[in-house]
Amino acid sequence: MATTFIPPNMVSSNKSTSLSHMSYHPLVADLPREIHKLLTLNGSSMIEPTAYDTAWVARLGEADAELSCKALEWLRTHQLADGAWGAEMPLYHHDRVICTLAAIIALIRNGAPEDRWRVAAALPALHDSLAKLPQDLAGRTVAFEMLLPSLIVEAKTVGIEVHDPDDVVGKMMRLRDAKLARTPKGMINRQTTLGFSAEMVGPGGLDMLDVDNLQQEDGSICISPAATAFFVTYIRPAPAALQYLRRIVKNGGAPTVTTFEVFERAWSLWNLTHTGAIDKSHLPLVNLSLDELGAIWHLGQGISIDKNFVVVDGDDTGLVSELFGQYGRPIDLDAIWSFEDDHYFRCYSIEHGSSVGTNVHIMGALRQAGLPTDHPVVQKVAKFLHAEQINGGYWTDKWHSSPYYVTSHAITTFAGYKNEVVQKAVQWMIDSQRADGSWGYFSPTAEETAYCLMALMTWHRYGLPVAPEIIECGAAWLLQHVDDPHPPLWIGKSLYIPTLVVRSALLSAIHQYVHEFVPQR
């Protein structure tokens, strides 16, 4: 069960609503150039490193001593003040547990004797986060129930005993065993989502892997740096896998996934398109991205997060389909229907837990395809969203740690189409604005503020009521904080930052405010 969201103080009613100075902000004047720059970079898979994947690279040892040493040094310099590894903010306990365990094992196996004090300093924070896992609003990180048991077993082999008074590890082991029981030995390969987390089998479980069919064309194991480093360390030092790791490790750090061209192109375009930020000068770059997406589309099946990952998913399929419709390209409805289940649309053919975001994005595609609001599928998704709505207000999604992300996408998708689905969510979003004009579940962030502004301005676009000061105060705060460091809010095996996707949200919100809202004032 998700943790109940407690709204922060709502926006101050005596806040000044005069924002005429916004037009003088340098970013406002540079918006067309900044959007063009982003579209030029779109598809390059810009992403920040994570402690979890870096810890696996640190284990390479003799397979690549240089990469291993640089990754170990990255871990040393990125240990948090409380001794843990993972995102400094937000404090997401699944992220802290998985990152800290991986880092501890890497430092003990391949580090220096003086790293022992780092390990000792990490254990209290590890046990604290292990006890607080239920506090995480969006639930488990990717493959947590598969990875945690393996890491716990390995920690024991290097002399680390993890206390588990609430049987958290035991519960994860039971979930893991049930999932593996449905997977015949030797069948985990690049054709399944389990391949992305191949390291979950540990050094003693290699018989679960179809080792000759794990690598993708780019040399990676299912575009996962961690799984690729595991493959090199414990299976074979394949030259293409090592080349992949040397290519993607930056300053010792490895990201949680790369490449992810489809996701980056699509989500950035979605933000810019919905806010009207694409003009005629941008269309050649937009069409280039759409051509790239169309070239790797599997007819009747859909699309994956990246051309180097063969498993298609409903989330990317739905959102890319919506984009195709918005730009006058045909929508492959057979691909959409392939993800339909009895009560909702699946993200993957075999998955643990449904995704609200997947259903929202598929609904966006079906709206573009012209389905009327009384169509049985529209009713099905609306019923599913009603059941998943928390306290009648917001939603959470397993791909993002903040409720503002998926709630914003839901409002944007249903506004002017089936308003009753999201009307309470709009009010929740308004009520949860902070006194300074920002939004943020853990603390104020530019990313979450941008999502809320886009949703509320889209609601306003359809003539639905939003007090002007709500939007104006939010826009003023966003411009003041647009260049702040962005915390990792997206959920992979650990929390991460898809740099261009976040940047596109900020530019989109500012553009929409300047071009749709300011002229009316």
pLDDT digits (tens, 9 = 90+) for 308-344: 999 999 999 999 999 999 999 999 999 999 999 999 9
SS3 content of the chain, % helix, strand, coil (to 5): 55, 5, 40
Contact between 208 and 186 (Cβ < 8 Å): yes
Long-range contacts of 65-70 (CB under 8 A, 24+ apart): 67/245, 67/246, 67/249, 68/110, 70/249, 70/251, 70/252
The three-class DSSP label of residue 390 is: strand
Please determine, for residue 6, whether its predicted confidence score (pLDDT) is greater than 50.
Answer: no
Output the CA–CA distances (angstroms, integers) from residue 348 to 86, 147, 305, in the order listed: 27, 19, 12
The least confident of 290-304, 311-325, 357-371, 507-521 is 507-521
Per-residue DSSP letters for 59-88?
TTGGGSHHHHHHHHHHHHHT--TTS--S-S
Note the maximum CA span of the chain: 67
Tens of pLDDT, residue by residue over 380-437, are: 999 999 999 998 899 999 999 999 999 999 999 999 999 999 999 999 999 999 999 9
pLDDT of residue 179: 82
pLDDT of residue 22: 58
For 123-134, what is the mean pLDDT? Answer: 96
Round to whole Å and give the CA distance between 486 and 89: 9
pLDDT of residue 7: 44
pLDDT band per the 50, 70, 90 thresholds, residue 267: very high
Contact between 478 and 243 (Cβ < 8 Å): no
CATH class of 51-248: mainly alpha
Structure tokens at 90: 């937000």
The least confident of 139-143, 390-394, 426-430, 515-519 is 515-519
Residue 307 contacts by C-beta under 8 Å, 6 or more apart in sequence?
259, 261, 262, 296
The least confident of 1-10, 32-41, 300-309, 356-365 is 1-10
Q: Are strands 495-496 and 490-491 parallel, antiparallel or unpaired?
A: antiparallel
- Maximum mean pLDDT: which of 22-36, 166-180, 304-318: 304-318
| 103-397-513-264 Cα dihedral, nearest 10 degrees | 60
pLDDT of residue 25: 75
pLDDT of residue 234: 96
Please determine, for residue 349, whether its predicted confidence score (pLDDT) is greater than 80.
Answer: no
Contact between 269 and 42 (Cβ < 8 Å): yes
Round to whole Å and give the CA distance between 52 and 416: 42
Q: Give residue 235's identity as a one-letter amino acid code.
A: I
Round to whole Å and give the CA distance between 453 and 430: 10
pLDDT of residue 304: 98
Please determine, for residue 18, whether its predicted confidence score (pLDDT) is greater than 50.
Answer: no
pLDDT of residue 517: 82
Structure tokens at 503: 């940047």
For 107-133, what is the mean pLDDT? Answer: 96
Q: Percentage of residues in the chain with pLDDT exceeding 70?
A: 94
What residue segments make up the domains of the chain, in order of their start? Answer: 20-46+259-520, 51-248
pLDDT of residue 519: 62
- Average pLDDT value for the chain: 93
pLDDT of residue 178: 85
For 373-385, what is the mean pLDDT? Answer: 97
Q: Percentage of residues in the chain with pLDDT exceeding 90?
A: 86
For 135-145, what is the mean pLDDT? Answer: 95
Contact between 347 and 355 (Cβ < 8 Å): yes
Q: Give residue 67's identity as a one-letter amino acid code.
A: L
Round to whole Å and give the CA distance between 376 and 408: 24
Please determine, for residue 274, whether its predicted confidence score (pLDDT) is greater than 60.
Answer: yes
- Using only C-alpha atoms, the chain has a radius of gyration, in whole angstroms, of 23
pLDDT of residue 8: 47
Please determine, for residue 520, whether its predicted confidence score (pLDDT) is greater than 70.
Answer: no
pLDDT band per the 50, 70, 90 thresholds, residue 24: low
For 295-304, what is the mean pLDDT? Answer: 98
For 490-516, what is the mean pLDDT? Answer: 97
Please determine, for residue 14, whether its predicted confidence score (pLDDT) is greater than 50.
Answer: no
* Cβ atoms < 10 Å from Cβ of 374: 8
CATH number of the domain at 20-46+259-520, please?
Answer: 1.50.10.20
pLDDT of residue 503: 98
The three-class DSSP label of residue 300 is: coil
Round to whole Å and give the CA distance between 294 and 363: 20
pLDDT of residue 155: 96
Phi, psi (5° rounding) for residue 224?
-110, 115
